[in-house]
Structure 1
Amino acid sequence: MSNAPATPSMKDKVCLVTGATAGIGLVTALELARAGADVLLVGRTPQSAGEAARKIREAVADPDVEPLAADLSSQTAIRRLAADVRRRTGRLDVLVNNAGGIFLDRSETVDGVETTFAVNHLAPFLLTNLLLPLLRAAPSARIVNVASGAHRGVSMPFDDLEGRNHYSGWRAYQRSKLANILFTRELARRLTGEPITVNALHPGYVNTQIFRDATWKGSVMRVFANLFALTPEQGAATTIYLATSPEIAGVTGEYFARCKPARSSRASQDDEAARRLWEMSATMTRPGDADS
């Protein structure tokens, strides 16, 4: 990894990476496998997940990698994914919530939730809560939430979280990344005293498939990314650092950039907003309900 700390051994560690079929997620899964971890990689389809696993097997000698498929815009699919993970392993040492996207035109998921908020925030919120028993079963576990410096300059619009009254694709993305950090802070608070850490990060402006939007606006953003963005290898460095480094054992509820602690926006440090977002997210996803 260019300009990144060497990855420590992850032998006998079980790791799950969402959005692991391309970009930062694929690089993260690859490097965890290279370090000896058992890697569960999640893609949107069996085909994309299988292809990512194939690439890792070509690059790493005898890796332990299993492809899993789930459309993270669907809460039913997330519950099925969590149940599948529980069938495959009795513990989880690292959970990397990496999957996300930018959707420039407003749309809704099968659950009737605005897509950006559903995929970028509610999906990791629900999946993490469903996998907490496996994380608690590990001697010490880590949750890594891939946020973004794009969270700056916005606050949470609690009266219109889904942009029903006014929608801007870029603003929706910014707020979803703010939600990632608020979720990180509140989860860290709720896990106080437990051997589980949770941290968020800014990967840098990375050239990945996050620009899924097929409209002309999405095309413009992809061209800009191609010109100025970091490579996925550079962008994955902080994710891998948070997932593996012994230097940050016990560090929790923090925000990192370039493998170092960084200061996030004032809005992201609002503990009351973090609690309120948690309560609203729990109402929208009902993580305590029996799996469907």
Structure 2
Amino acid sequence: MTATGNAATENPLAGDMAGKTVLVTGATGGIGKAAARTLASLGAQVVIVGRSAAKTAEVAREIGAASFIVADLSVMTEVRRVAAEFRAGHSRLDVLLNNAGAVVTSRQETPEGIEMTFALNHLNYFLLTQELLDLLKATPDSRVVNVSSEAHRSGRMRWDDLEFRKGYSGFQAYGQSKLANILFTRELSYRLAGTGVTANALHPGVVYTGFGQGGAGLAGRLVSLSYQIMRPFIKSEEQGAQTSIYLASSPEVAGVTGQYFDNERVARPTPQALDDAAAARLWAISEEYVNVPTNGSQSRATGSLKV
């Protein structure tokens, strides 16, 4: 299967993906679906993850995905199951595109008792990557691509209350989670030095997908109103997927790691996102949350091995 004319037109910097295996989360709509569709058209064997069985099956057929897995990625036991199912059916993983996420306007907890935004937008990325790391390392020149956001610029890590048990704000929780995506990406890239696996984060742009809309109360209404005001300046889903596609496929970024991209170019995130000590601290906290020690991995902040 070769790249179609449409795929080449959508992203002229995309590379041939024939023979490569890609896992895309949050792929039943928005930029995840657009990215999965284009990567499949470029020749990749694409596996998508979605929450609704009917919708995920329908999208898989529509975009030409090789297969699909149904799971709620806010639940860590479900994340582990996704990894187990993928490993059982595949001997390689060239690209892990961590795309699933949400804006939660009122505080919610997962069935495991973790605040929803932190669980879905950060812990899901962390755990799924850890569970698939051996497969990524075994695949030459594999890539981890994490969808973050410019919303990280308004975020800060509330180390004393990461789950917003006091003073919940959906916007602040989302900003924190997107900051966490970049911190995770940078620490991951350091720990994977010399393995051949790269890890990069990206801002997809402001995309009109319905993402974050429909929430309850004043916060939900403000999100919807903001979309209406900004709609003339907002990207389409296909445009919003371009940096994900670029990082997943382009030969231009082979070997590039630990970076934050916007519009297919390296961008500078906030000083908070460049804090090595914060990245190491978040990693250690994330290990405790998901109970997955990353044995033998080295933190750049401490220079010490975690065992």
With the shorter chain as reference, the TM-score category is over 0.9
Q: Residue 51 of structure 1: CA displacement?
A: 1.4
User: Partner of 1:54 in structure 2?
Assistant: 61
* SS of equivalent to 1:87: helix
User: Partner of 2:180 in structure 1?
Assistant: 179
* Counterpart-to-counterpart distance in 1, 2:170 and 2:154: 15
What does 1:162-173 correspond to in 2, within 5 Å? 162-173=163-174
* SS of equivalent to 1:152: helix
The structure 1 residue matched to 2:265, chosen from 260, 269, 275, is 260
Does the aligned pair in 2 maintain the 1:25–1:98 contact within 8 Å? yes
What does 1:74-89 correspond to in 2, within 5 Å? 74-89=75-90
* Counterpart-to-counterpart distance in 1, 2:220 and 2:57: 27
What does 1:1-292 correspond to in 2, within 5 Å? 4-57=11-64, 65-211=66-212, 213-216=214-217, 217-226=219-228, 227=231, 228-288=233-293
The sequence identity of aligned pairs, in percent, is 49
Q: Deviations over 1:232-290 (max 9, x none)?
A: 1110000000000101111000000000000000000000000000000110001359x
Question: What is the root-mean-square deviation of aligned Cα atoms in Å?
Answer: 1.6
Q: Residue 166 of structure 1: CA displacement?
A: 1.8
Q: Residue 138 of structure 1: CA displacement?
A: 0.5
* SS of equivalent to 1:176: helix
Does the aligned pair in 2 maintain the 1:91–1:136 contact within 8 Å? no
Count of aligned pairs:
283
| TM-score, normalised by the number of residues in structure 1 | 0.93
Q: Deviations over 1:167-224 (max 9, x none)?
A: 1100000000000000000000110111000000011111124215432432442343
Does the aligned pair in 2 maintain the 1:101–1:116 contact within 8 Å? yes
Q: Where has structure 1 moved over 6 Å in runs of 4 or more?
A: none
Query: What are the ranges of 5 or more consecutive residues in structure 2 without an aligned counterpart?
Result: 1-6, 295-307
Query: What are the ranges of 5 or more consecutive residues in structure 1 without an aligned counterpart?
Result: 58-63
| TM-score, normalised by the number of residues in structure 2 | 0.89
* Counterpart-to-counterpart distance in 1, 2:227 and 2:292: 36
Q: Residue 5 of structure 1: CA displacement?
A: 2.7
The amino acid across from 1:118 in the alignment is A
Does the aligned pair in 1 maintain the 2:155–2:174 contact within 8 Å? no
